[in-house]
Amino acid sequence: MANYIIKRLLQVIPTLLGITLITFLIIQLAPGNPATLKLQMAGQGEMGESAIAQQIIQQTKELYGLDKPLIVQYLLWVKRVFTLDFGNSFKDHRPVLAKIAERLPITIQLNVISIVLVYLIAIPFGVYSATHADTFSDRALTLFFFFLYSLPSFWVAVLLIMFFGGGDFLDVFPVYGISSIGADSWPFFRWLTDRLWHLILPVTCLTYGGLAYLSRLTRAEMLEVIREDYIRTARAKGLSERVVIFKHALRNALLPIITLLAFLLPAMFGGSVIIESIFSIPGMGQLGFESVLSRDYPVIMAITTISALLTLVGLLISDILYATLDPRIKLE
Amino acid sequence: MHDSLRPQRILPLAATALLILLLSSCSDSRNATAFNKDWLITHLSAEPATLNPITSTDAYASNINDYIYESLLKRDEKTMELVPVLADSWDISADHLTYTFHLKKDIRWQDGHPFTANDILFSFERIRDPKVDSAHLRNYYQDIDRLEVIDDHTVRYHYRIPYFRALEFCGGIPIVAAHLFSETEDFNQSPIGRSPLGTGPFRFLKWDTGKEIVLVRNEQYWGEKPKLERVVFKVITDSTVALQVLKKGGLDLMSLRPIQWVKQTGSERFHKNFRKIKYYLPTYSYVGWNLRRPMFSDRRVRQAMTMLVNRESILKELLFGLGTIVTGNFYINSPAYNRYIQPYPYDPEGAVALLKAAGWEDHDGDGVLDKDGAPFSFEFLISAGSKFAEQLATIMQENLKQVGIQMGIRKLEWAVFIQNIQQHQFDACTLAWSLSWESDPFQLWHSSQAEKGSNFVGFKNAEADAIIETARKEFDAAKRNVLFHRFHEIIHEEQPYTFLFTTEALVAVARRFQNVQVYPMGLAPREWWATEQQSE
């Protein structure tokens, strides 16, 4: 087991290098250039006098380190990253890690809450669907979840805001931001309720779409397990239905769902551009989106590298969990 | 089978728990929105990158920095003349090459340090320092040979060439406090980017990333103190949400989109609490024709294209009539704009005749105009994210098809769009320029700027060049305007652009604010004051 983990950890390094190299090349070779963009951002939208503008663009490239050959730039980047320095953003010259650190907590809050909610709601309903397979309630439930799944989140978000945010109907929820003004100086409990109050609408939007997939998956796994011999044996033994379903069937059915955990780690890190923009939440989604639009290479690289790393680690963790939970699987 | 009911038992429980939470915090959020009447809460649709006035490039930053920083002079809101701010007076040499500014004494930075000539020198050097990320500004200070500090309260700029906008540029230089910087520090990363410090009527209080930026009145301000106590810039990224927040009383001032102006702000209740103001700002939108393409190198074709765009109907349908059709490159409300020029009418028949005269006819009977065997077919480049451009393109495509011109539409992301235009990889495109009060046609229209500069359509005209060169050295505004009127005629005749519209800026302001004046360059909230909240 220990050997296996070490081996897998070592494999992470070349994979990560490969991912970052490809990302680096893609973003650098994509059309659009941060130095020229900067000059065009200039006050009056004018691009400047030609000869001088070219010289200034050159200076800006040097300032950003974009004048060196691509491979040199990449190696310099790798060298810095080994010391955990992701460089400074082109946009405001602040350290990239500081910018991420500023936005990560809120993104994690949103994601943790909505992922936990998805699991808490979808799995029980999945079990229910399986035990009532092909009945009316099973079909109705499935239909309902797929209905939710097909609603675009930006539309739901705007509707929620109009109906619950003091438009022409109810005024119960705040419609932007993640806390009230001055909340930072409030006592903890008051701060917490205020924060949750703000999170309800965005979390709703992030949650409802995920229910269909997970409940269908749980249902399918449960149905498969229920047909197994050991379930029949358990029933034959005279165990109560409750014990059969929750102790013998569900435990086994949940195994594949654990693999999904692998994708949760990077999912925690990434934000939703749409929901963040509608609710004015300064999260990772906005940061990533803006950095791509403004060709802020250091920020794009940092976000990609960190989520790639989290994906790899997530995969490893789920493999280990799998082996721990299911003695039939061996990691060698 | 009863156990499977469990989830349904849990859910109502969870829901009740949430509800309790909600109800308990309900009152809190109400109290928090109660604010002082002397606070102006205004809307930001995105956050500035930095508030360092030398490295910042976005309009959000300059809007905020206007409250904090001052320069030697400014353009007076009412008279549009240049008036002294941090300078007491200035002398201009007869040859218009040296500009000497005498600074006001006793001016202090908001931390109490005296303001001196050294601050100006430091700021000037930073703008010209290649290690400083100020490409956009450096461009404007290229013609200055050097800046001389004569004494603590006198500076002199030496220009290489005479230029009519020199006074505005050198007197309007962004000035930062030199004493806040050490030599070893990277200027780009300086803390003033996140906590600016100026000499102006408001001082910086705090910046919560992605939430708000707060300024408070500078009680030690040297000039007339503003009556507003605070100016709060709230970041609300979605304009629908912002309007709702405004209606709830969470914002005092925001820009409206045309659809919001026409359809969503008409209720009596809205009218009671807010006043809607519209005014012109110096911008214009246009369709640019790439004059390097054979079909668009002919002036008659360009005129015909303009006559094929139904600008009146587009203005009415897409922009709800909130703007005006323009005929040239100057700001429509400035004296440089030639009001005698009438826009080309929407006239498909006249356009067809012009095209025929230029040799474009449907010779082979396939329904598409052609000349020398080549069909009249081109691509219209638009930037993704501009809904207006998209609608405009569709309408144009339809109109052109009727006279036998094939127009394809290509939508590109902004960074790629700009790159294509700069490399002249386009047939036609649509964009908008924003201008200053006095504008210099040089960058956009001089033939020397056609290869790598902003004259990306490749406009070259000897008379226009001569006018531009003369006007740059003409210091008499009236004489300059005569030149510009002629220039405007040439541009109208040549139609390198199909000039579209100057749209109106639309804003909503809470009624409790008084002295809300509309000036030629917009609103000046720093002179507002508030009365007691209007009763509903």
Q: Which residues contact A268 (CB under 8 A, 6 or more apart)?
A: A107, A108, A111, A112, A115, A310
With an 8 Å Cβ cutoff, are B4 and A128 in contact?
yes
Looking at residue B3, its pLDDT comes to 36
Structure tokens at B70: 């001052």
Q: What is the pLDDT of residue A331?
A: 64
Ranges for all domains in chain B classified under CATH 3.90.76.10 = 73-177
Q: What is the CATH number of domain B73-177?
A: 3.90.76.10
Name the DSSP class of B233: E
DSSP letter assigned to residue A30: S
Mutate to test the interface with B, among A44, A96, A110, A154 (most CBs of B within 10 A): A44
Can you tell me the distance from the alpha carbon of A111 to that of A307, in angstroms, rounded to the nearest whole number? 14
User: Which residues in chain A have their CB less than 8 angstroms from residue B383's CB?
Assistant: none
How far from B237 is each of A183, A236, B47, B245, B438, CA to CA, in Å? Answer: 20, 61, 9, 12, 32
How confident is the model at residue B463, as a pLDDT?
A: 94
The DSSP secondary-structure symbol of A249 reads: I
Distance from CA of A313 to the nearest CA of B (A): 30
Answer yes or no: do B28 and A165 touch at CB < 8 A.
no
Of the candidates A221, A202, A199, the one whose C-alpha atom is nearest the C-alpha of residue A123 is A221
Tokens 């030149």 found at: B483
Amino acid at A247: K
The string of DSSP letters for B261-308 reads IIIIS-SHHHHHHEEEEEEE-SEEEEEEE-TTSGGGGSHHHHHHHHHH
Q: Give domain A96-325's CATH number out of 3.90.1200.10, 3.60.15.10, 3.40.50.1240, 1.10.3720.10.
A: 1.10.3720.10
CA distances in angstroms from B71 to A163, B199, B208, listed in the order given? 47, 9, 27
Q: Could you give the CA distance from residue B265 to residue B254 in angstroms, rounded to a whole number?
A: 12
Taking the Cβ of residue B185 and every Cβ of chain A, the question of whether any pair is shorter than 8 Å is answered with: no
**What is the residue extent of each domain of chain A?**
2-81, 96-325
Angle between helices B299-308 and B348-357 (to 10 degrees): 160
- CA-to-CA distance for B245 and B29, rounded, in angstroms? 13
The DSSP-derived string for B344-371 is PP--HHHHHHHHHHTT-B-SSSSSS-EE
> How far B244 CA sits from the closest chain A CA (Å)?
6
Contact criterion met (CB < 8 Å) for B189 and A161: no
Question: What are B34's two structure tokens?
Answer: 């109660």
Could you tell me the maximum CA-CA distance found in chain A, to the nearest angstrom?
89
Nearest CA in chain A to B448: A50
- The architecture in CATH of the region B9-70+186-279+505-530 reads 3-Layer(aba) Sandwich (3.40)
* CA nearest to A35 within chain B: B135
Asked whether the beta carbons of residue B32 and residue A182 sit closer than 8 angstroms, the reply is yes
Render each residue's pLDDT in chain B as its tens digit; 536 residues: 333 333 333 333 344 444 444 444 443 333 344 457 889 999 998 889 899 999 888 888 989 999 999 999 999 988 889 999 999 999 999 999 999 999 999 899 999 999 999 999 999 999 988 888 887 788 788 889 999 999 999 999 999 999 999 999 999 999 999 999 887 788 888 888 999 999 999 999 999 888 899 999 999 999 999 999 999 999 998 888 999 899 888 899 999 999 999 988 988 889 999 999 999 988 899 999 999 999 999 999 999 999 999 999 999 989 999 999 999 999 998 899 999 999 999 999 999 999 999 999 888 888 899 988 889 999 999 988 788 899 999 999 999 999 999 999 999 988 888 888 888 999 999 998 888 888 889 888 999 888 877 888 999 999 999 999 999 999 999 999 999 999 999 999 999 999 999 999 999 999 999 999 998 888 999 889 888 765 44
Q: Which residues of B92-108 are buried (b: 16+ CB within 10 A; e: fewer)?
A: eeeebbbbbbbbbeebe
User: Residue A127: its chain B contacts at CB < 8 A?
Assistant: 4, 7
Residue ranges of chain B assigned to CATH 3.10.105.10: 283-503
- H helices then E strands: how many in chain A? 16, 0
From CA A162, how far away is CA A158, in angstroms rounded?
6
- Cβ pairs bridging A and B (under 8 Å): 217
At B85 the pLDDT is: 94
Residue B410 bridge partners (DSSP) = B381
* Contact yes or no for B57 and A41 at CB 8 A: yes
Of the candidates A52, A181, A293, the beta carbon closest to that of B415 is on A293
Query: Cβ–Cβ of A165/B244 closer than 8 Å?
Result: yes
Cβ-based neighbour number of residue B336 at 10 Å? 25
Residue in B173, B452, B457 to test binding to A, most A beta-carbons within 10 Å: B452
State both tokens at A295. Answer: 């060709």
Q: Which two tokens stand for residue B4?
A: 């499977």
Does the pLDDT value for residue A47 go beyond 60?
no
Cα B142 to chain center, whole Å?
23
pLDDT confidence bin for A275, thresholds 50/70/90: confident
Closest CA in chain B for residue A284: B210
Work out whether the CA dihedral B480, B482, B487, B488 comes out positive or negative. positive
Helix H segments across B404-476?
Answer: 414-422, 442-445, 462-472
Nearest-CA distance A131 → chain B (Å): 8
Please indicate if any CB of chain A lies within 8 Å of the CB of B235. Answer: yes
Asked if the C-beta of B210 comes within 8 angstroms of chain A's C-beta atoms, the answer is yes
Q: CA A281 to CA A271: how far, in whole Å?
A: 10
Distance separating alpha carbons of residues B463 and B477, to the nearest angstrom: 20
Question: What type of residue is B218?
Answer: N
Residues 6+ apart with CB under 8 A from B51: B61, B64, B65, B68, B192, B193, B194, B195, B196, B204, B207, B213
User: Tell me: the pLDDT tens digits for A113-143?
Assistant: 888 898 899 888 988 888 888 889 999 998 9
ipTM value, please give it: 0.79
Helix, coil or strand: residue B425:
coil
Min CA distance, A167 vs chain B (Å)? 6
Which residues of chain B have a CB within 8 Å of the CB of A62? 130
The two three-digit tokens of residue B76, written as one number:
């007076």
Specify whether the CB–CB gap between A132 and A176 falls below 8 A: no
Span(s) in chain B for CATH 3.40.190.10: 9-70+186-279+505-530
CA distance B445 to B329: 9
Residue with tokens 């609103």: B523
Residue A210 CA to residue A122 CA, distance in Å, equals 8
Instruction: Provide CB contacts within 8 A for B125, sequence distance 6+.
Output: none
Rounded Cα distance between B161 and B143, Å, is 7
Which residue of B4, B10, B135 is in closest CB contact with A132? B4
Q: Find out if CATH 3.10.105.10 is the number for domain B283-503.
A: yes
- How far apart are alpha carbons A181 and B44 in whole angstroms? 16
Local structure of residue B513 (DSSP, 8 states):
E
Split at pLDDT 50, 70, 90, the class of A50 is: low
**What's the rounded Cα separation, in Å, for the pair B421 and B414?**
11
Q: Give the minimum alpha-carbon distance from A223 to chain B in angstroms, rounded to a whole number.
A: 14
Number of residues assigned to chain A:
332
Burial of B5 (0-12, 13-18, 19+ CB in 10 A): exposed
With an 8 Å Cβ cutoff, are B136 and A42 in contact?
yes
Q: Using CA atoms, how far apart are residues B202 and B70, in angstroms rounded to an integer?
A: 11
The owner of tokens 């006035």 is B53
**CB neighbours of B344 closer than 8 A, spacing ≥ 6?**
B303, B306, B307, B495
